[in-house]
Structure 1
Amino acid sequence: MSTNPTIPTNPAAPAVRLSGVGKVFGSTHAVRDVTLDIRQNEFFSILGPSGCGKTTLMRMITGFEAPSEGTVELGGVPATGVPAHKRDLNMLFQSYALFPHLSVAANVAFELKVRKLRPKAEIAGAVREALALVRLDGYGDRSVSQLSGGQRQRVAIARALIARPSLLLLDEPLGALDKQLRAEMQLELKKIQREVGVTFVTVTHDQEEALTMSDRIAVMNGGRVVQVDTPEGVYERPASRFVASFIGTSNFLTGTSDGHALSVEGLGVLPLPKTDVVGEAHLAVRPENVGVCGKEPAVPPGSAALRGTLQQSVYLGGTVRHHLALADGSTFVAQTHASGAAGLTPGGPAWAHWRPDAARLLAE
């Protein structure tokens, strides 16, 4: 996709502003009433399960799709109705879309040459700078067929950034890489984004990827944005049961809150963290915030404890995941350090316990 903008943008305005944006395909509402600002020079992720509308939302930002309702602004300038090639942005696809018959340098220079965005005399220098940015100095003469998956992705990033767009959109950018390389490239992408000072917007279903790379995350479900926050915020302070279950793993206890305690059928009354939630509610507790032991613990006032039966303990390296069967037939999970749980025997009694600030109460 080309970066040959004809409409000047305002660097003081949000990089992207979506106001009441929706998209309808026939009778299907793919995106519903999305309003959010993406700040200049931030790494922003749109995260959600397959079919949640995140790719459609990205396509409306790029101009590949027109909103059925609402408006899109780029750098403070209305973009609704502006064709994709007139927007000051570029896009990195999961497939990379490299030309196998061209060298690395020719791939990176392709857009500059075709769109005549730089004088011919400046192109070689621009290509060297772009390859240095992605740690591929000296690779210009190689064929892309000689490169590893991670190196191909770096070439694609260099090509996307060589014209210095105001905004780079990335569609599942690490999906084609193996797990170890994906983890390395998460850090590399964030480092590159900081160095170039370009706003990055990535679309992904990978929670770890979004948590690792992002300054902020928009979580989508059913065509709607259900929470926008920092990685710490969406993990530690989820706004709904969906967010708490989609990002990471949570235990849920459903009952009735009076603001001080939660009554759970079959399990009794559990003390609550400070909350304004009254009525039907879910108590969410992350496994890593749960302690477990083989005899009834002496918990501090306000802390909670549940008795269960240890089903199994799964060794995960530095940690162990313990699965407890509770009296109501549900399963509760605690994840501790390998040496953090004593006196546990499969089939024997086990108590899960946690501090008040380790739990979060979510309205039904």
Structure 2
Amino acid sequence: MTVSPPQTVPAVQLAGIGKSFGATHAVRDVTFDIRANEFFSILGPSGCGKTTLMRMITGFEEPTQGTIELGGVTADGVPPHKRDLNMLFQSYALFPHLNVQDNVAFELKVRKTHAKRAIAEAVREALALVRLDGYGDRAISQLSGGQRQRVAIARALIGRPSLLLLDEPLGALDKQLRAEMQLELKKIQREVGVTFVTVTHDQEEALTMSDRIAVMHDGRVVQVGTPEDIYERPATRFVAEFIGTSNFLTGKADGSVLTVAGLGAVPLPAGAFTGEAHLAVRPEHVRLHTGESAPPAGWAGLPATLQQVVYLGSATRYHLALADGGTFVAESHGAAPAGLTAGGPVVAHWDPQASRLLAE
């Protein structure tokens, strides 16, 4: 299968997109670009508007306001079958009465634009791409869940669309197979050079596969960025809570410190502002110290009581009780070090530059 050449025009441009169903605003003032040949994820909880946004890109829904461009050309009023895109559904939507090669070839046969020999060659290339060489004569009922998904991917890509949209593509797979297919989807996308846009509520899936992510909340896009941007530099408290796990301290920021009722002054990262704010600290950035050890100079420190130690295999999680009645979580690789026992006093320390200050 031929790899698409690099493009400079965005694959998708959304400008001021909104969608209302009566008095319900499903999508509100969404504006961002999806670059050509990138793996882009629209991420958010159920009911946030991500599926409605995807349906507007495909043409199954028309925006109430705003404009959509595909490859630099307006898509207003263009029906789905005339847009240069394809869609992969969570259910795969394979035809059970057709074997693998006939499922993959279905679109080209319906178009009637390819000779029989050309269709056979395209099917062979598509199956090779998804590592299903020699599976052409198999019945769909003879395939595993992962193999069925690969057939669906081959069928979606055989027509060489400029854009492939994937609706919760891995939701029907078990955890181990889902992890394997995350990497496989990313590899396939790189090989074919087609723009992939996936809609998902799975944070790990989006972080693993995506070049960039748009996080949606209550119909709005609250942040667009790389997986590292989204995780390490969340723009809002919602993003910090939804992507991974975060500890939060709320108080008054003034220059270099955050004053928290019941806890006192906590040092802030450089460039902090003045006003009511939340300080987000990821558990993996928190280190625990007892009276026998001390943190590096300049680190933040909160006295706490170690309530619970949870061994997770690759990591250990520590649940703490703070002096103001709040809770805090720390996490380290491997088993808990000697000297840390539930019920004992500890101090939770972290580098202020590893925290994130968020305006309230």
Instruction: State TM-score, norm by structure 2.
Output: 0.97
Shift of the alpha carbon at 1:348?
A: 1.1
Corresponding residue for residue 163 of structure 2: 167
Alignment equivalent of 1:65, drawn from 38, 42, 61:
61
Shift of the alpha carbon at 1:339?
A: 4.6
Corresponding residue for residue 190 of structure 2: 194
Report the AA paired with residue 311 of structure 1.
Q
Corresponding residue for residue 346 of structure 1: 342
Corresponding residue for residue 264 of structure 2: 268
1:84 correspondence with 2:108: no
SS of match in other structure, 2:101:
helix
1:126 correspondence with 2:122: yes
Shift of the alpha carbon at 1:296?
A: 7.0
User: In 1, distance between residues paired with 2:176 and 2:293?
Assistant: 40
Corresponding residue for residue 231 of structure 2: 235
User: In 2, distance between residues paired with 1:295 and 1:276?
Assistant: 31
1:251 correspondence with 2:247: yes
Instruction: Answer whether contact 1:109 1:127 (CA < 8 A) is retained.
Output: yes
CA RMSD, 1 decimal: 1.2
Corresponding residue for residue 3 of structure 1: none
Corresponding residue for residue 3 of structure 2: none
Runs of 4+ in 1 over 3 A off after TM superposition: 339-342
Instruction: Answer whether contact 2:256 2:272 (CA < 8 A) is retained.
Output: no
Moved more, 333-342 or 139-148: 333-342
User: In 1, distance between residues paired with 2:246 and 2:196?
Assistant: 29
Alignment equivalent of 2:221, drawn from 201, 221, 225:
225
Instruction: Answer whether contact 1:254 1:281 (CA < 8 A) is retained.
Output: yes
- Residues 157 and 22 of structure 1: is their aligned pair in 2 closer, same or farther, counting only changes over 3 Å? same
- Residues 117 and 259 of structure 1: is their aligned pair in 2 closer, same or farther, counting only changes over 3 Å? farther
Deviation readout 1:179-233 (Å, 9 max, x if unpaired):
0000000000000000000000000000000000000000000100000000000
Deviation readout 1:117-173 (Å, 9 max, x if unpaired):
422221111101000000000000000100000000000000000000000000000
Shift of the alpha carbon at 1:86?
A: 0.3
Corresponding residue for residue 42 of structure 1: 38
Alignment equivalent of 1:309, drawn from 270, 286, 305:
305
Report the AA paired with residue 114 of structure 2.
R
- Residues 341 and 293 of structure 1: is their aligned pair in 2 closer, same or farther, counting only changes over 3 Å? farther
Alignment equivalent of 2:17, drawn from 14, 21, 45:
21
Moved more, 333-342 or 152-161: 333-342
Report the AA paired with residue 205 of structure 1.
H
User: In 1, distance between residues paired with 2:113 and 2:25?
Assistant: 39
User: In 1, distance between residues paired with 2:155 and 2:326?
Assistant: 52
User: In 2, distance between residues paired with 1:276 and 1:316?
Assistant: 35
Unaligned 5+ runs, structure 2: 1-5
Report the AA paired with residue 152 of structure 1.
R
Shift of the alpha carbon at 1:341?
A: 3.6
User: In 1, distance between residues paired with 2:337 and 2:201?
Assistant: 33
Deviation readout 1:284-324 (Å, 9 max, x if unpaired):
00000100123275333331011111110000012110000
User: In 1, distance between residues paired with 2:64 and 2:152?
Assistant: 32
Instruction: Answer whether contact 1:11 1:75 (CA < 8 A) is retained.
Output: no
Unaligned 5+ runs, structure 1: 1-9
1:96 correspondence with 2:92: yes
SS of match in other structure, 2:176:
helix
User: In 2, distance between residues paired with 1:88 and 1:133?
Assistant: 21
Corresponding residue for residue 131 of structure 2: 135
Instruction: State TM-score, norm by structure 1.
Output: 0.96
User: In 1, distance between residues paired with 2:7 and 2:314?
Assistant: 46
